[in-house]
Amino acid sequence: MAVSNTPAHEQQASVEQQASVEQQANLAQEQEIIDLMIGIYCRGMQHEHERGSLCASCAELQAYTEERNRVCPFLKTQTKTFCQFCESHCYSPEKRAAIREVMRYAGPRMLWHRPAYAVKHLRAVRKHRPRPA
């Protein structure tokens, strides 16, 4: 049986650092998916913009989602789930309606643009969906 010479507080710090790295990777992937969905929506709705960029309203929504994800109070815990299942919504009602419209439009189209992300997202939603009591 191997005995660790590392103090318990150093082991705890290592575990927390590893969790933080995983959370940052999950956040980056979540933001990448949101950005992709906003792009699909913006192009699909034929908003006025230069090729390869978002229109002003979609760019504003994208910046808003980045800020909200960065300051999410649940990011530091292991309880971070999808915003739609969160009990304390940090999006304003207008932005929440806008992102819901984006996801409703872009969600099914994700199967053509990034099928692996779409399947992974569906599995994760199923896992995090609250179960009726």
**Beta carbons of 65 and 130 less than 8 angstroms apart:** no
Domain assignment of residue 2, yes or no: no
Residue 82 counted as domain residue: yes
Residue 133 domain-assigned?
Answer: no
Which of 88, 97, 106 lies closest to 34 in space, CA to CA?
106
Q: Is residue 60 part of a domain?
A: yes
Token pair, residue 61, equals 């929504």
Residues 120, 65: Cα–Cα separation, whole Å: 20
Nearest to 99 by CA among 130, 75, 67: 67
What is the reported pLDDT for 39?
Answer: 92
Q: Does some domain include residue 46?
A: yes
% of the chain residues with pLDDT over 70: 68
For 81, the domain range is 23-128
Number of domains in the chain: 1
CA atoms in the 13 A half-sphere facing the CB of 126: 6
pLDDT digits (tens, 9 = 90+) for 27-74: 788 888 889 999 999 988 887 777 778 899 999 999 999 998 888 776
Q: Is residue 78 in some structural domain?
A: yes
- What is the pLDDT, as a whole number, of residue 15? 46
Q: How many Å apart are CA 21 and CA 78, to the nearest integer?
A: 12
Its pTM stands at 0.74
Q: Does residue 110 form part of some domain? A: yes
Distance CA 88, CA 85 (A): 9
Does residue 1 sit within a domain?
no
